[in-house]
A and B are shown apart, each in its own frame.
Chain A
Amino acid sequence: EDQVTQSPEALRLQEGESSSLNCSYTVSGLRGLFWYRQDPGKGPEFLFTLYSAGEEKEKERLKATLTKKESFLHITAPKPEDSATYLCAVLTGSGNTGKLIFGQGTTLQVKP
């Protein structure tokens, strides 16, 4: 059964304290791994898509990496505005079919 697990469930950081969020997955055929940010009461905001092991992508203070079993979202010198829930999802299926399988998310709180 395809499965996505995120850890930790919640993370509290001081402003400037770097850390990483983990997303481990077990899927029969990975077609892409997605990271989203979700603020309370809003829809998820697209951050990154990773397609193959070894791939890395960066956006401001965020850097996503991918291995054959997991992905990490590294947050460097976070600011309070980085506080949000970060969702990881994997795309399975073929062609334009398939669906995203989401993890439970990591809620990040960055204190000033």
Chain B
Amino acid sequence: GAVVSQHPSWVICKSGTSVKIECRSLDFQATTMFWYRQFPKQSLMLMATSNEGSKATYEQGVEKDKFLINHASLTLSTLTVTSAHPEDSSFYICSARGDFPPYEQYFGPGTRLTVT
């Protein structure tokens, strides 16, 4: 299957600082990428849909000024958590979807963010 990478795999930061997470589709072009958040023992929660060259679409209840998404190329999307607080600590997972049918969607390995 297709490969999606994320960097870093884990990060610890202090409250009030910003953290950037990168997501790359390594072997296919992805006009559309997604950012999810997952809490322990829960399923994935979609945060936003990232489209190359345009503004991201955020799900209801997700603060777009806190979670900045940039999809600068067909293979790279970034999520920046601004002014992080302990409640932002979570497992963040990106995903990339192929541009053509069957529109299969592949996930990155995830980034564990801990805000102290």
Contact = CB atoms under 8 A, between A and B. Distances in A.
Contact of A41 (B31, B95, B108, B110): B110
Interface residues of A, number: 22
Contacts of A103: 43
Contacts of A36: 107
Interface residues of B, number: 28
Interface string A34-48: 101000011111100
Interface stretch (B68-76, B80-88, B97-105): B97-105
A32 B103 contact: yes
Contacts of A78: none
A27 interface: no
Given A96-B32, A99-B49, A44 B103 contact: no
Interface string A86-98: 0100010000110
B115 interface: no
Contact of A49 (B2, B99, B104): B104
A87 B104 contact: no
B109 A96 contact: no
- Decide if the interface of chain A is mainly helix, strand, loop or mixed: loop
Contact of B109 (A32, A34, A42): A42
A11 B34 CA distance: 30
Max chain A Cβ within 10 angstroms of own Cβ: one of B31, B105, B112: B105
Given A97-B32, A102-B43, 7 more contacts: A31-B103, A43-B6, A43-B108, A46-B1, A51-B102, A96-B103, A105-B43
Interface of A: 31-32, 34, 36, 41-46, 49, 51, 87, 91, 96-97, 99-100, 102-105
